[in-house]
Structure 1
């Protein structure tokens, strides 16, 4: 694609992968995608989105290939205003050009504060295997030593791979996975928060609330309410 792309999730959630990172895009958030870079999209539920394409003449090249961020009330209103001009609308009027230009400036500023729902992608086959095991068993009371044994690595070697490829310890990665799974559940189901906490691997609601707030800067209840903003 030769244009920068704004993908705004209105309903449902998706996973986006690009440039060695995986993001979760829940409702009321948006992703800014740099022109000329393919991304992988995994739809997690019934999905409704709004999209805006920006010519490089209108928007400066985004700093990152893909960034997910919070949408402000102004950005949401500007997206709604842009619905009047589709791909077959012909040349834009001076007013339309100002609207698109303003939206481009606003979303680039918002993208400077990216969402925390991001996880680096592993590179080595050994870490890919360890990550697959961790993700498939994240809801259980697993240990780092068990993951090392099941992926045929020593704990020391595996710890080095997590540090060098993910920039985190295994325990930090596990916490990221559990919170991202919780974000997806909060975004796509009406399941009670206590049940979600148990399903993603937390033994208590208080522990889940604390971990979620630390990662997302809001409680699970506040996050679910923000999906309808």
Structure 2
């Protein structure tokens, strides 16, 4: 009989998008690098010192834009309750980080877990399940229709230049009015609001590389001034880009 919970650490190279579905509840924590995760029409970024909680049997889309090292825990569905959502990304607190590190001593095995280890894994689940009830605001709509998904993809490709809504609508074969309606219907936000979120998402991905200056990141994602970038970043995350980068260190 396999263990009701176990931990492992892996390093993955950059990979294109693929589907991930496991038969256990999956706690996925990034310690270096970044992953992109998508479920239920929303896309999340998983930078260092953050965790993703994925429900057993719920398929999600995963891509790895740069090499990443992760610490993961798999929980048997009979050992812990179902997570509050199919996918949630959240900040790890000190308690969760300490429990995750302590649980690292027990990997996959047919040997039963000692009572001490079971208690640790149960405590880790209790803390992370509660943290997952307050997910990170760094999320953008993924879109359901092919037209909107293409519009979002084109918007992301043009973040560093001058992304123009009318040009994107033309490129996806819709009028600007029709595309605007798609954004409202499928995402509950305007294209401009989605653009702001995508710029911050791209910035978080770049902040994971400590060698890239914040000023360079601001211009790379489409801001003309550092002050405007800082204001937009703080509005969404509650922190400045520099503060957010410092939080990547567990």
Tell me the TM-score normalised to structure 1 length. Answer: 0.95
Identify the residue that residue 132 of structure 1 maps to in structure 2. 153
SS in 2 for 1:196: helix
Q: Structure 2 vs 1, CA of residues 120 and 142 (structure 1 numbering), >3 Å: closer, same or farther?
A: closer
1:128 deviates by 2.2
Aligned residue in 1 for 2:144: 123
Tell whether 2:213 aligns with 1:192: yes
- Which residue is equivalent to 1:113? 134
Native 8 Å contact 1:197 1:203 kept in 2: yes
- Measured after TM superposition, the shift of residue 169 of structure 1 is 0.2
* Structure 1, gaps ≥5 residues long: none
State the match for 2:184 in structure 1. 163
CA distance in 1, matches of 2:61, 2:210: 23
CA offsets 1:128-160 (integer angstroms, 9 cap, x no match)? 222222111121122222222332322211111
User: Aligned pair count?
Assistant: 229
* Separation (CA, whole Å) in 2 of partners of 1:152 and 1:189: 40
SS in 1 for 2:169: helix
Higher share of residues assigned helix: 1
Q: Could you tell me how far apart the structure 2 residues matched to 1:206 and 1:68 are?
A: 28
Residue from 186, 204, 225 that aligns with 2:246 = 225
Among candidates 213, 216, 219, match of residue 237 of structure 2:
216
Question: Which protein has the bigger strand share?
Answer: 2
- Counterparts in 2 of 1:132 and 1:44: CA distance versus 1, 3 Å: closer
CA positional deviation for 1:89 = 5.9
* Inter-CA distance 13–109: structure 2 relative to 1 (3 Å threshold): same
Measured at CA, do residues 76 and 89 of structure 1 come closer, stay the same or move farther in structure 2, by a change above 3 Å?
Answer: farther
1:189 Cα shift?
A: 4.5
Give secondary structure in 2 for the equivalent of 1:48: strand
User: Which residue of the partner structure matches residue 16 of structure 2?
Assistant: none
Q: Distance in 1 between matches of 2:108 and 2:149?
A: 41
**Equivalent residue for 1:19, pick from 40, 51, 54:** 40
Is 1:3–1:53's contact at 8 Å kept on the other side of the alignment? Answer: yes
CA-based RMSD: 1.3
Partner of 1:188, secondary structure, is coil
Which residue is equivalent to 1:31? 52
In 2: Cα distance, 1:82 partner to 1:218 partner = 30
